[in-house]
Amino acid sequence: MSITYDDIDRRLMVELQRDAGQSVDMLSESAGLSRNAVWRRIKRLEDDGLITGRVATVDPVAVGLGLTVFVSIKTARHDAKWADRFARAVRSFEEVLGLYRTAGDQDYLLRVRVADVVAYDAFYQRLIEQVDLADVSASFVMEEVKETTRLPIR
């Protein structure tokens, strides 16, 4: 099901992605609408599920989570019971920021944030204790060239 939105809604979503802490007054200036009209539009965007939440972006290095790791996982099992157990286990780890089932050589890709390689190893040991995996490989991010949560809304 496709939800429709217009240029003003798009402008509001772009602005909220840039800074969700903006006041309705600031957003109304940007959109060229009254504050009440902007508030109603934002409420509708939330009710329709286009805006799913508003969060603060925290500097991971400042809070001691300076290492990003992409973890590729291959499994020998593909049954629903195993997949459910795997998903529940991975969701329980706060270090995991993203879990993706993929096509290709690997079955799953995880995006993990930890303090350092020692913390990654502790995460890895906990993971393999909980779920049977055929192969796990890690790619440690040396430099974050671009990292964003902003969607390119057209």
pLDDT value of position 3: 86
Q: Quick one: fold of 7-47?
A: Arc Repressor Mutant, subunit A (1.10.10)
What are the Cα distances from residue 74, in Å, to 11, 57, 106, 154?
41, 31, 5, 36
Q: Quick one: fold of 67-140?
A: Alpha-Beta Plaits (3.30.70)
pLDDT value of position 2: 77
* 88-115 burial code (b ≥16 CB/10 A, e <16): eebeeeebbeebeeeeeebbbbbebbbb
Over its length of 154 residues, how does the chain's per-residue pLDDT go in tens digits? Answer: 678 899 999 999 999 999 999 999 999 999 999 999 999 999 999 999 999 999 999 999 999 999 999 999 999 998 999 999 999 999 999 999 999 999 999 999 999 999 999 999 999 999 999 999 999 999 999 999 999 999 999 8
pTM of the predicted structure, to 2 decimals? 0.87
Is there a shared CATH topology between the 7-47 domain and the 67-140 domain? Answer: no
**Closest by CA position to 137, among listed 145, 127, 147, 129:** 127
pLDDT value of position 74: 97
